[in-house]
Structure 1
Amino acid sequence: MRLILLRHAESLGNVDERAYCRIPDHALPLTPRGEEQARAAGTEVLRLLEPGPVAVYVSPYLRTRQTLQRMALGDVVERTVLEPRLREQDWGNLQDEGEQLTLKQQRQAYGHFFFRLPLGESGADVDDRVAAFLSELWISAADPAHPTNVLIVSHGLTIRLLCRRLFGWSIELFESLSNLDTCEHRVLDRHGTRWQLDRPFHQWRDSPDDSVQR
């Protein structure tokens, strides 16, 4: 089985953080640069998928759906599932510009995994729904009709937590890793019961518990 994890292309929120104060997070569109990124990613993903079909699981947010559309994967897609459990961490409706920076500073000091946004989720909440998604995916993938290639189009923190679950990474290691860049991907291949990552995530500090990406 092969998993391709792709972060959405550049969105309005990536270039203008004040956009979160006037547009719902789920409705933020791609920028023109993001549309170009997605088209380029489509070519690369098609190369990775040869020769078989793919099952696509995509966050229902506008930017992830637009990314998948611009990728133009065509007939290689056997099924597409809009999966709410792959959505971005919930910050709680429209954000307040005055509170945005304060909350991010508090989260950085407290820890991205356990810090609960006042009207939204903690990283641990996202971890729980990612675990539920993976459990259901393994059940679906046991059906011989399910493609062995799986593309997941999601968000930065969500993708890191998917990998945390798959590889059993510690929370300390998770918090030491950076999100993928917009439209960056990772490929995971399964060999027996073990998963192999094609290349590590950028690590901005050594993990306090000395654990490493495996």
Structure 2
Amino acid sequence: MQRLGPARLVLVRHGESIGNLADRAARGAGAARLELDARDADVPLSDTGVNQARALGRHLADLPETAVPTAVASSPYRRSADTARTAMETAGLRLPVHHDERLRERELGVFDGLTGTGIRAEYPAEAARREHVGKFYYRPPGGESWCDVALRVRSFLRDVGARAATDRLWIFTHQAVITCFRYVLDGMDEEAVLALDAKVPMPNGSTTTYHRGPGGVPALVDYASAAAVRAEGAEPTHEREHAGRGPVP
């Protein structure tokens, strides 16, 4: 009999990163490019991000035994991997963290490191094409569309469905990836997922939780909740645009 996915799935956005701070500073100054030397995969957590990861660990330590994760997966990108590692160490959990490249951040291609101002200045034709194609289907040169990320999510979920040990699965990943999990698990269309992205900010360290409902259908419990971080004394942070190397184009 085929399994129908985890009984409990928790998606965690990484803690605040140095990239988030650089993005916020660049947008505030109206700059074209982020002041950030590291490649996207190597961007570390900020001090606030480390505190958020530790808060998640304290939350994990307080969970009842029936809610403690049985498996942990993470994007291999440093800000997510370090959030997972710090949370597990703080909680005193000895579970291995499995890094899966399908959980990595959406790749922005030639737009990497640019703000919206920089994209419009350096790639006006692409900015116009993105306006015509739409945010969901547009793929920047050398990068990925949201659909590409959704395909990664579908592939990951197919593999998870075959593993009994992942019944309570925690995933540490990125904003766009978590939004695509919602798109896939909730059967959203383009209009619905873009409305969600526009209206609901996703704090660093926030959790999005699903339980397996009747008939094996995933049921959303909460989305982009900062309650765990806040309850454990850390400051939630978020921004309206993509947190990383620039705005989601």
1:185 aligns with 2:185: no
CA contact (8 A) 2:60 2:91 kept: no
For residue 120 of structure 1, what is the amino acid of its counterpart?
A: G
Describe the shift of the 1:31–1:105 C-alpha distance in structure 2 as closer, same or farther (beyond 3 A).
farther
Equivalent position of 2:99 in the other structure = 82
Identity of aligned residues (%): 29
CA contact (8 A) 1:88 1:154 kept: yes
Equivalent position of 1:67 in the other structure = 83
For residue 117 of structure 1, what is the amino acid of its counterpart?
A: P
SS at match of 1:177: helix
CA distance in 1, matches of 2:99, 2:181: 17
Describe the shift of the 1:118–1:53 C-alpha distance in structure 2 as closer, same or farther (beyond 3 A).
closer
Equivalent position of 2:160 in the other structure = 137
| Gap regions ≥5 residues in structure 2 | 1-6, 24-32, 226-249
Deviations 1:2-41 (A, max 9, x none): 0011000000111102457532111100001110011111
Equivalent position of 2:181 in the other structure = 162
CA distance in 2, matches of 1:48, 1:108: 45
The alignment covers a number of residue pairs equal to 198
CA distance in 2, matches of 1:64, 1:41: 13
Equivalent position of 1:33 in the other structure = 48
Deviations 1:75-127 (A, max 9, x none): 54544210100001011278354774427966577432101011211111111
RCO greater where, 1 or 2, for CA within 8 Å and sep 6 or more?
2
Partner of residue 11 from structure 1, selected from 2, 17, 32: 17
Give the superposition deviation at 1:45: 3.3
Give the superposition deviation at 1:167: 1.3
CA contact (8 A) 2:160 2:166 kept: no
CA distance in 2, matches of 1:154, 1:60: 9
Deviations 1:136-172 (A, max 9, x none): 11012xx3xx042100000001001012111111121
Describe the shift of the 1:47–1:176 C-alpha distance in structure 2 as closer, same or farther (beyond 3 A).
farther
CA distance in 2, matches of 1:187, 1:96: 31
Q: Select between 152-161 and 45-54 the one with higher mean Cα deviation.
A: 45-54
Give the superposition deviation at 1:53: 4.4
Q: How does 1:91-102 map to 2 (within 5 A)?
A: 91-92=108-109, 95=112, 97=114, 100-102=118-120
TM-score, normalised with respect to structure 1 = 0.81
Describe the shift of the 1:37–1:94 C-alpha distance in structure 2 as closer, same or farther (beyond 3 A).
same
CA contact (8 A) 1:21 1:95 kept: no
| Gap regions ≥5 residues in structure 1 | 203-214
CA distance in 2, matches of 1:167, 1:77: 32
CA distance in 1, matches of 2:64, 2:96: 14
Describe the shift of the 1:181–1:110 C-alpha distance in structure 2 as closer, same or farther (beyond 3 A).
farther
CA distance in 1, matches of 2:12, 2:174: 8
